[in-house]
């Protein structure tokens, strides 16, 4: 049984000071990291609890919404102004996990949760993400849920956060603090494809703490939708999901964002599909042709080839709902 010391951070400064020490991991709601520690997918000699580090504030103003990383998924999903003005955010949050998990799980923890690849989570399996160089059994084994974009020979795992996919379509940004500095990153900049270093899911370093998420107020937010296809209607991760946001002017799509979930180690922007749709009329025909471009650059494995049909269908449905 893994053992670790535990400390509750009294504020953000205290959290990042403690987080800068070797072997320290943050714990927020604990809904993911405790399982990972138990199954020895991650190791930590010390946990710093974030639950008292800062108030779970959510502020909405003319520029956009600033959401504390320490707010729970439920607090954010229930926030009236957020739900009204960024309905896709609420839809993505409510499509994830269960009511019980959402009561505990935080926004920062959701964005930093680890992959659901069985080989990563199974204590007895090799996995390049948890033990670099040990191999990737998913390529030859069970990979129904795995990547069709951006994978490498070392890892085909996907990132599981629904929220990250919605934020990618809404141009969300995160503020990261550590003991030395603060910086702001676009949501897509925090994740990385596996390449030769599948053990690194994100561009964040040891001790980096997400303090808040900012969602700008843009014309895209008003016409948006989140569609998630999964094996059962709740308590299940995406096989393929799509966050679509459209801005329509003079009967034409003036701007569009299409982000896919369940298909890559990061929220995957379907840029060829977006480029196709810009400047066209928002019709069933243009949505179909746009969806077909959603698989540009995809490389399926035998067990997840069905995603090549699913991706265009999910994009089309998300665009129809967003319109
Ligand atoms: C049965 C089940 C089904 C689920 N289904 C879904 C789903 O469909 N969609 C979905 O999106 N999620 C799903 N989840 C995952 C769930 O959303 C995450 O477990 C949860 O959001 C993690 O948040 P937490 O606060 O509990 O994080 P923790 O478990 O406390 O931490 C998770 C990771 O984030 C790090 N961390 C936490 N806060 C911060 C921060 N502020 N800055 C930097 N690092 C931080 C921790 O160090 C740790 O590495 C499911 C979970 C379960 C158990």
What is the model's pLDDT at position 11? 98
pLDDT confidence of residue 235: 87
Ligand 1 centroid to residue 95 C-alpha, Å:
14
230 ligand 1 Cβ < 6 A: no
Q: What is the pLDDT of residue 233?
A: 86
Answer whether 210 contacts ligand 1 (Cβ < 6 A).
Answer: yes
CA of 253 to the centre of ligand 1 (A): 35
Instruction: Kindly give the interhelix angle for 307-322 and 284-292, rounded to the nearest 10 degrees.
Output: 140
Strands 223-229, 209-216: pairing is unpaired
* pLDDT mean values, one per 10 residues, the chain (323 residues): 92 98 97 96 97 95 97 98 95 96 98 98 97 97 97 98 98 98 97 98 97 96 94 92 96 97 98 98 98 98 98 98 95
State both tokens at 6: 């535990």
Structure-token pair, residue 4: 């670790």
State the pLDDT at residue 1: 75
Beta carbons within 8 Å of 312's beta carbon, 6+ residues apart: 288, 291, 292, 294, 295
The Å distance, Cα 177 to ligand 1 centre, comes to 19
Nearest atom of ligand 1 to the alpha carbon of 112: 34
Residue 65, classed as helix, strand or coil, is strand
Mutate to test the pocket of ligand 1, among 15, 26, 174, 236 (most ligand atoms within 8 A of CB): 26
CA distance linking residue 263 with residue 79, whole number of Å: 29
3-class DSSP assignment, residue 310: helix
Put the strands of the sheet holding 182-186 in their side by side order: 58-60, 64-68, 209-216, 173-177, 182-186
Query: Does the beta carbon of 112 lie inside 6 Å of ligand 1?
Result: yes
Q: pTM of the predicted model, to two decimals?
A: 0.98
With beta carbons less than 8 A apart as the criterion, state whether 65 and 76 touch. Answer: no
113 lines ligand 1 (CB under 6 A): yes
Q: What is the pLDDT of residue 234?
A: 85
Q: Is 179 exposed, middle or buried (0-12, 13-18, 19+ CB in 10 A)?
A: middle
Encoding tokens for residue 5?
Answer: 């010391």
């Amino acid at each position: 049984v893994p053992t670790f010391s535990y400390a509750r951070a009294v504020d953000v400064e205290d959290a990042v000071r403690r987080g800068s020490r070797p072997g320290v991991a943050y714990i927020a709601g604990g809904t993911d990291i405790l399982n990972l520690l138990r199954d020895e997918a991650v190791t930590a000699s010390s946990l710093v609890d974030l639950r008292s580090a800062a108030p779970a504030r959510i502020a909405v103003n003319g520029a956009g919404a600033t959401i504390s990383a320490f707010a729970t998924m439920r607090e954010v999903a229930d926030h009236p102004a957020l739900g009204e003005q960024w309905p896709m955010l609420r839809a993505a949050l409510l499509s994830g996990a269960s009511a019980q998990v959402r009561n505990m799980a935080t926004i920062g923890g959701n964005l930093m949760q680890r992959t659901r690849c069985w080989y990563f989570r199974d204590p007895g399996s090799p996995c390049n993400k948890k033990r670099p160089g040990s191999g990737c059994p998913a390529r030859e084994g069970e990979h129904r849920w795995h990547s069709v974009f951006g994978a490498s020979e070392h890892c085909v795992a996907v990132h599981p956060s629904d929220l990250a996919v919605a934020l990618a379509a809404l141009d969300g940004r995160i503020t990261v603090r550590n003991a030395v500095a603060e910086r702001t990153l676009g949501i897509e900049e925090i994740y990385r494809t596996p390449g030769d270093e599948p053990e690194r899911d994100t561009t964040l370093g040891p001790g980096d703490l997400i303090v808040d998420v900012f969602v700008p107020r843009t014309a895209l937010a008003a016409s948006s939708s989140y569609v998630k296809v999964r094996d059962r209607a709740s308590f299940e991760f995406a096989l393929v999901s799509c966050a679509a946001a459209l801005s329509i002017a003079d009967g034409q799509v003036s701007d569009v964002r299409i982000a896919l979930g369940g298909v890559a180690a990061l929220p995957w922007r379907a840029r060829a599909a977006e480029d196709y749709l810009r400047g066209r009329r928002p019709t069933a025909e243009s949505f179909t042709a746009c969806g077909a471009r959603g698989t540009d650059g995809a490389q399926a494995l035998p067990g997840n080839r069905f995603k090549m049909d699913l991706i265009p269908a999910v994009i089309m449905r998300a665009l129809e709902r967003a319109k």
